[in-house]
A and B are shown apart, each in its own frame.
Chain A
Amino acid sequence: MTATSVHPKSPARARIRVNRLVLYTALVVITGLFLGPFGWLVLTGLKAPAELAAAPVHWLPTHFEWHNFVDAYRVIDFLGYARNSLIIATIYATLVTLSSAWVGFGFARLTAPGKKVLFGILIGSMMLPQMITLLPTYLIFARLGMVDTYWPWVLWGLSSAPYLVFLFRQFFAGLPRELEEAAIVDGCGYAGIFWRIFLPQSWPVLSASFVIAFTWTWGDYIAPQLLLSTDRSTLAVAVMTTYVSSAGTPSTNLQAAASVMYVVPILLIFLVAQRGFVAGMSTSGLK
């Protein structure tokens, strides 16, 4: 092995160096392309309307219109919509995290006839096209008078999410058996075991689950668009639909500024919670 290894100044060594250079260049170019759309969004948000109409495209704003970001707040009730998004996302993420942990505990630590079949359905339901079930669900919610309330998110939250149930199941299944045996001897019920022993152990999964569910809801466009009236709707819907000038033309620059402000919190949350996010994703993708 060592005898055949590369000599310091052999052509193979030079080739490796060229390869690295090509690799770095490729990565820098690709990364640039990937960041491009978002960069352009920021630039668009900094331009004046006249500049957006200019004939050869102005790559950089001649004057950076920072006040666009302030105006984007003012022309619509940006903070009000953000608050709606925050409320809905927090309600859903809290409930769905707790309910999924609860259900995941059952699938990980308990047995019963029919469990295997149910688990199969649970896994299969992850692949159910959600948009297909959403439309009739909307019709039912409309009939029950739950349109324009936050009840749909409460119900969705309480009913747990298969993907998160799976995350919790994987985590709980890996904990040692002695954990609940000692508690059973102490006469602790399963609910108590879950609440007092398992849940406090699962902080990494709890936070990952909360972050994932929160970003889902923050990013969801179609459910609030269908279920909520314009005033009570979320930031996603407001950013998409309400930036129209009094003349009826879209205010492109303000909308771009607003969507930057809408997206950045999610990017920040991701950067902070990166590890749990990615770990959760890979678990679900592989198993």
Chain B
Amino acid sequence: MTVDQASSPAVGRPRPTAQVGRPRSATRTGPSMTTRKHRAFYMFASPWIIGFSLLTIAPMAYALWLSFTTYDGISPHWHYVGLGNYRELMGDSVTWDALGRAGLFALISVPLSIIAGLVLAVLVNRPLKARGLFRTLLYLPAVVPPVGAGIAFKNLFDQNSGAANGALTFFGFDAIGWLADPYARYVLVMTVLWAAGNIMIISLAGLQDVPRELHEAARIDGASAWRTFRSITVPLLSPVLLFQTVTGVIASVQTIMPMLLAPTPGTGGLTSIPQSNYTYMIHVFAEYFALGRYGYASALLWVLFLLILVATGLIFKFTSGVVFYNVDPEAQK
């Protein structure tokens, strides 16, 4: 006989007093089995617990400590400045501009890519010939690593040899310096849209979970395609869309794509990044690696971290009434 805890679902109706009812026999096998189970759980969870503590919590704590200092990585003459870095940050217009740019980038790229992904998902969810092929091809760019995407877009939007300017001049327009101010920001947004296949695939999985009867009922009631989409598809997909919004915002705020689109790539070329792509994350990198101001850069990091937490919280709060969780008792098992 095994422990009551493990076997109780199997023995028909579990009596509420089952655990209290047999203290004698339980003292011998029960607790030792449960403690074994508890110990085993922590043995299994330990790689993550240790790894998370050492490689996530500890670095964040270290950054927090650095943010109160003037440490630069080389000079031994650093000192504690309390909230000095944070005070400087509040008055630094470069920081505020970079933050504004990152916010604007998130505000534009996240909704656009979600709409694009959703539209694609609806399109390839229709009964079509070769829809598997369309799905694969549309998703493919999302698999291309950032370096590949960066180089592809650099070539596509090159001032002289790019296809974008080729098309513009072909139709009689002037060529544009896409990768410089003020156009570089559009290229940055397009790199995000290029990977909308990601959202397409996830939305597609959600679409396929939408019960067929709902669509049929709507059609019988004479609802238009748009109405069905708005009143059935979007509400049922809303948890997926919420998840995509949150992860999209987090990803867009920390993107290093401006570095990959810069004329001189890498941390050595941070100063070659055009103003309009000088986002907050790039500012952090510049403070770390171009200027070596570890203390100040760490303060920037912590501010960004807190802002992301607040933004995530706000997104959840404002969508709590809108997002519809389809709790199907049968799907819960």
Q: Which residues of A contact B (CB under 8 A)?
A: 20, 23-24, 26-27, 30-31, 34-38, 40-41, 44, 47, 51-57, 59, 99, 102-103, 105-107, 110-113, 115, 118, 121-122, 125, 127-133, 135-137, 139-140, 142, 155-156, 158-160, 162, 165, 177, 181, 184-185, 189-191, 194, 215, 218-222, 225-226, 236-237, 239-241, 252, 255-256, 259, 262-263, 266-267, 270-271, 274, 278, 281-282, 285-286
| Interface-facing stretch out of B75-83, B86-94, B178-186, B243-251 | B243-251
**A255: chain B residues within 8 A (beta carbon):** 151
> Is residue B137 contacting chain A, with contact meaning CB distance below 8 A?
yes
Given contacts A23-B126, A240-B265, contact A30 B138 (CB under 8 A): yes
**B151: chain A residues within 8 A (beta carbon):** 41, 239-240, 255-256, 259
Structural contact, A266 and B143, CB atoms closer than 8 A: yes
Q: Is the interface of A mostly helix, strand, loop or mixed?
A: helix
Given contacts A24-B128, A40-B156, A136-B60, contact A112 B42 (CB under 8 A): yes
**B9: chain A residues within 8 A (beta carbon):** 177
Query: Nearest-CB distance from A81 to chain B (Å)?
Result: 12
**A215: chain B residues within 8 A (beta carbon):** 143, 145
**A282: chain B residues within 8 A (beta carbon):** 201-202, 204-205
| Interface-facing stretch out of B15-23, B105-113, B160-168 | B160-168
Structural contact, A111 and B38, CB atoms closer than 8 A: yes
Q: Is the interface of B mostly helix, strand, loop or mixed?
A: helix
A239 to B148, CA, bound (A): 9
CB within 8 Å: A-B pair count = 275
> Is residue B217 contacting chain A, with contact meaning CB distance below 8 A?
no
A47 to B126, CA, bound (A): 40
Chain A residue with minimal CB distance to B255? A131
Chain A residue with minimal CB distance to B161? A52
10 A-B pairs with the lowest CB-CB distances in the bound complex, closest first: A159-B51, A106-B44, A219-B145, A57-B166, A282-B205, A285-B202, A112-B41, A136-B59, A131-B254, A136-B63
Structural contact, B144 and A241, CB atoms closer than 8 A: no
Q: Could you list 7 examples of A-B contacts with CB < 8 Å?
A: A37-B153, A51-B161, A57-B162, A127-B312, A156-B55, A159-B52, A263-B145
A31 to B196, CA, bound (A): 12
Q: Number of B residues contacting the other chain (C-beta, 8 Å)?
A: 100
Structural contact, B124 and A274, CB atoms closer than 8 A: no
Query: Nearest-CB distance from A49 to chain B (Å)?
Result: 10
Q: Which of B284-333 contact A (CB under 8 A)?
A: 284-285, 288, 294, 297-298, 301, 304-305, 308, 312
Structural contact, A127 and B246, CB atoms closer than 8 A: yes
Query: Nearest-CB distance from B316 to chain A (Å)?
Result: 11
Query: Nearest-CB distance from B177 to chain A (Å)?
Result: 15
Structural contact, B141 and A241, CB atoms closer than 8 A: no
Structural contact, A136 and B298, CB atoms closer than 8 A: yes
> Is residue B104 contacting chain A, with contact meaning CB distance below 8 A?
no
Structural contact, A37 and B169, CB atoms closer than 8 A: no
Structural contact, B48 and A162, CB atoms closer than 8 A: yes
Point out which of A40, A142, A162 has the most chain B C-beta atoms below 10 A from its C-beta. A40
**B243: chain A residues within 8 A (beta carbon):** 285-286
> Is residue B230 contacting chain A, with contact meaning CB distance below 8 A?
no
Structural contact, B152 and A40, CB atoms closer than 8 A: yes
Structural contact, B155 and A256, CB atoms closer than 8 A: yes
> Is residue B240 contacting chain A, with contact meaning CB distance below 8 A?
yes
Query: Nearest-CB distance from A262 to chain B (Å)?
Result: 6
> Is residue B266 contacting chain A, with contact meaning CB distance below 8 A?
yes
> Is residue B214 contacting chain A, with contact meaning CB distance below 8 A?
no
The 8 A CB mask of B119-158 against A (1 = contact, 0 = none) is 0100110101000001011111101111111111101101
A55 to B141, CA, bound (A): 29
Structural contact, B49 and A118, CB atoms closer than 8 A: yes
Q: Which of B244-288 contact A (CB under 8 A)?
A: 244, 246-247, 250, 253-254, 256, 259-260, 265-267, 281, 284-285, 288
Structural contact, B143 and A159, CB atoms closer than 8 A: no
**B60: chain A residues within 8 A (beta carbon):** 132-133, 136
